[in-house]
């Protein structure tokens, strides 16, 4: 499968490196409007053809797929052009900045009969897969609530806030774990570094089943945290990407009803264990999944539907953020 990539800024080179190393893929084109970015990428990928113009990729009849790693506002327009040119498309997260635009890209993929995959990287993380397996097995009982912490002193962005930049990952995982879409979204956030661009955002989602989720997203924080906590009626579990070995931990903790005194609950604190989690690079798994979906024509795990769902939730959270955290329907 012959792949071209557009966008060789901060993240694109990681995708380019992974596609280049896959045995079933050939990285044929590297495209960026910036000459400096092209030169930097070409030094690492001397076998690829550099260009500043996406049309060169779209006119190459031997090119199967285009990977888009440009800034977010450009995603819908570029992805639609790629799909309408008959190429399969991998687009970085989030698919778009509005659900309407995300749906238009999804429609373009359906009409063209081409694979569209969104880079919800965490959906390919073996630790998230393990957490999902544990939650689905019933080991935790009914899931009461989920919360995530994505904190860092990270990259300051001007064209998206911490909700859209960091939250796309957390929302994609929460939706995967929940297996349903939220009915209500609330968010509060603050801008300190740039007017109108929130550096820290707290989000709250409620689901029809009673499940609740909270996200703490910030690129202005002394801690580096990338953690999900799932609290169930029987047990609790965490996925902590900062842990080297114990990425997933299950806690046999909760409350049991005391039968000596009717109506009273007593805390139970039992075993704590960590199942094995593969340390294969999630980005490699993600890129290999795209190649496999193109080869077989199957729908990616983070395909158009997942891309649209995540944007719909982010859009509702953004609405709430703008309306002083009034609850917004999703």
Ligand X SMILES: NC(=O)c1ccc[n+]([C@@H]2O[C@H](COP(=O)([O-])OP(=O)(O)OC[C@H]3O[C@@H](n4cnc5c(N)ncnc54)[C@H](O)[C@@H]3O)[C@@H](O)[C@H]2O)c1
Q: How far is the CB of 90 from ligand X (least distance, A)?
A: 11
In the bound state with ligand X, the residue whose beta carbon lies nearer, of 204 and 318, is 318
CA gap 251, 254 in Å, rounded:
9
Q: How far is the CB of 255 from ligand X (least distance, A)?
A: 37
Cis peptide bond prior to 90, omega within 30° of 0 = no
Q: How far is the CB of 202 from ligand X (least distance, A)?
A: 21
Q: How far is the CB of 290 from ligand X (least distance, A)?
A: 13
Phi and psi torsions of 202, nearest 5°? -115, 125
In the bound state with ligand X, the residue whose beta carbon lies nearer, of 9 and 275, is 9
User: Which residues form the interface with ligand X (CB under 6 A)?
Assistant: 6-12, 31-34, 37, 54, 69-72, 74, 92-93, 119, 121
In the bound state with ligand X, the residue whose beta carbon lies nearer, of 92 and 103, is 92
In the bound state with ligand X, the residue whose beta carbon lies nearer, of 71 and 223, is 71
Token readout for 237 is 């579990």
Alpha carbon distances (Å) from 104 to 77, 107, 215, 317: 10, 5, 28, 21
Which residues sit opposite 4 in a β-bridge?
29, 66
CA gap 279, 92 in Å, rounded:
22
Q: How far is the CB of 178 from ligand X (least distance, A)?
A: 21
Q: What's 28-52 look like in SS3?
A: EEEECCCHHHHHHHHHHCCCCEEEC
In the bound state with ligand X, the residue whose beta carbon lies nearer, of 80 and 143, is 80
* Cβ pair 235, 142 in contact under 8 A: no
């Amino acid at each position: 499968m012959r792949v071209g990539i557009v966008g060789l800024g901060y993240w694109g080179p990681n995708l380019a490196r992974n596609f280049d190393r896959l045995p079933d893929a050939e990285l044929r084109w590297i495209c960026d409007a910036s000459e400096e970015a092209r030169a930097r990428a070409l030094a690492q990928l001397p076998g690829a053809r550099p260009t500043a113009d996406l049309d060169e990729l779209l006119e190459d009849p031997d090119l199967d797929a285009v990977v888009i790693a440009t800034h977010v506002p450009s995603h819908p327009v570029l992805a639609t052009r790629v799909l309408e040119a008959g190429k399969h498309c991998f687009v970085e997260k989030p698919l778009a900045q509005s659900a309407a635009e995300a749906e238009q890209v999804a429609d373009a993929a359906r009409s063209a009969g081409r694979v569209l995959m969104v880079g919800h990287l965490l959906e390919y993380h073996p630790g998230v897969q393990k957490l999902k397996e544990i939650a689905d097995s019933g080991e935790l009982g009914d899931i009461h609530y989920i919360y995530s912490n994505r904190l860092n002193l990270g990259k300051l962005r001007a064209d998206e806030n911490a909700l859209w930049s960091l939250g796309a990952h957390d929302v994609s995982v929460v939706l995967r774990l929940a297996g349903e879409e939220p009915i209500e979204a609330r968010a509060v956030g603050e801008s300190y570094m740039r007017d109108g661009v929130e550096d820290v955002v707290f989000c709250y989602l409620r689901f029809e089943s009673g499940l609740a989720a909270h996200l703490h997203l910030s690129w202005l924080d002394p801690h580096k945290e990338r953690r999900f906590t799932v609290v169930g009626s029987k047990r609790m579990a965490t996925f902590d990407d900062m842990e080297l070995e114990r990425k997933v931990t299950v806690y046999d903790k909760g409350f049991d009803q005391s039968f000596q005194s009717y109506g009273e609950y007593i805390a139970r604190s039992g075993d704590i264990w960590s199942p094995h989690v593969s340390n294969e690079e999630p980005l490699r798994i993600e890129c290999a999944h795209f190649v496999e979906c193109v080869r077989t024509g199957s729908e990616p795990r983070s395909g158009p539907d997942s891309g649209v769902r995540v944007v719909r939730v982010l859009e509702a959270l953004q609405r709430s953020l703008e309306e002083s955290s009034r609850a917004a329907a999703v």
